[in-house]
Amino acid sequence: AFACVESIYKGRIGDVIKGCTPNVTVVAPDPQGDLKGHPCHLYYMIPYDATEHDVKIQGFLRGRFTYTSVHCYGWSSLPPANGQFRFDETLTPDAGATGGPEDTFTVHATTKPLGLPGMNEIDVSEEPSGVCLVRLIYPEYAEIERCKPSVLAVPRGLRA
């Protein structure tokens, strides 16, 4: 049964990210719903591979939307067993945040978290490769391209 669920998951996500390069590509959401979920829950899909590097994801914390979350899912279709993800209340803004629409966050998907206070880390040691989803709820469509996150492979442990 689990193999069947995993196959369906890889098929749905795989069709959307086919040809994408891990730690480089960010797939912007289709306003009609890439994952056929609620049309006002829009997901940026970021294939990640943290087997040799940390993965640095930067995005907008505020804007013309009501909620932000960052989840990493392994190819098993499950989030890491430790259940880590970041959302509005647990995303620490980057330095210089003012509470305005230009505030950004940085999240590190890593297999070796440093555990520093205020550090946005997601421990992906149990699922070192997969897809990271950055979700915005009720964004104005004009915000979709403006709020597109960026992704970069960085040396393990680099948090600057």
Average pLDDT over residues 28-38: 58
- Give me the chain's average pLDDT, please: 78
DSSP 11: H
28's CB contacts (< 8 A; 6+ apart) are 44, 144, 145, 148
Which pair of tokens denotes residue 101?
């629409």
Is the Cβ–Cβ distance between 26 and 45 less than 8 Å?
Answer: yes
* For residue 36, pLDDT beyond 60: no
For residue 51, is pLDDT > 90?
Answer: yes
pLDDT band at residue 160 using 50, 70 and 90 as cut-offs: low
Nearest to 112 by CA among 128, 133, 134, 93: 128
pLDDT tens by residue, 65-116? 778 889 888 877 777 766 678 878 888 888 888 888 788 889 999 999 988 8
